[in-house]
Amino acid sequence: MKKILLVGSANMDLSMNICRVPEPGETLLDDGGIAYTPGGKGANSAVAFAKLGADCVFCTKLGADAHGQKLFNYYKECGINTSCIKVDPEAPTGLAVVMKEADGANRIIVYPGANKTLTRENVLDAFFTEPDALYIGFEIPFDIAVAAAKIASVKNIPIFVDAAPASKDYPLEMLPPVEVFSPNESETLEYTGIYPDTTENCLKAALALSNRVKAKYIVIKLGSRGSFVFDGKHLDVIPAYRPDAVVDTTAAGDTFTAGLTLEYLRSYGNIKNAMRYGSAAAAIAVSRKGAGSSIPSEDEVIEFLRKRINF
Ligand code: ATP
Ligand code: RIB
CA of residue 59 relative to chain centroid, distance: 14
- What is the predicted pLDDT for the residue at 310? 60
Q: Closest Cα to atom 10, ligand 1: which residue?
A: 223
pLDDT at 311 exceeding the cut of 70: no
Coil/strand/helix, residue 278: helix
DSSP state of 172: G
* Whole-model pTM over 0.85: yes
State the Cα–Cα distance between residues 98 and 22, nearest whole angstrom. Answer: 14
- What was the pLDDT predicted at 164? 96
The 10s digit of each residue's pLDDT in 229-274 is 999 999 999 999 999 888 888 889 999 999 999 999 999 999 999 9
Which letter does DSSP use for residue 245 in this model? -
Q: What distances in angstroms separate CA 59 from CA 42, 208, 262, 263, 286, one per listed residue?
A: 9, 31, 17, 21, 26
Q: How far is CA 135 from CA 4, 39, 81, 131, 181, in A?
A: 7, 17, 14, 10, 10
Per-residue model confidence as pLDDT tens digits over 82-113? 999 999 999 999 999 999 887 767 889 999 99
73 confidence band (pLDDT: 50, 70, 90)? very high
Indicate if ligand 1 lies below 6 Å from the C-beta of 249. Answer: yes
Q: Please state the atom number of ligand 2 nearest to the C-alpha of residue 139.
A: 10
Binned at pLDDT 50, 70 and 90, residue 290 comes out as: confident
Q: What is the pLDDT of residue 302?
A: 95
What distance in Å separates the CA atoms of residue 22 and residue 44, rounded to the nearest whole number? 28
**Which residues lie with the beta carbon below 6 Å from any ligand 2 atom?**
11, 13, 39-41, 44, 96, 98, 108, 110, 139, 250-251, 253-254, 291
Asked if 166 and 184 count as a contact pair (C-beta separation under 8 A), the reply is no
pLDDT band at 180 (very low <50, low <70, confident <90, very high): very high
Give the closest residue to 265 by CA, choosing from 131, 146, 149, 148. 131
Which pLDDT value is given to residue 239?
A: 95
Domain ranges in the chain? 3-308
pLDDT at site 100: 87
The CATH code belonging to domain 3-308 is 3.40.1190.20
> DSSP string of 30-93?
--S-EEEEEE-HHHHHHHHHHHTT-EEEEEEEEESSHHHHHHHHHHHHHT-B-TTEEEESSSPP
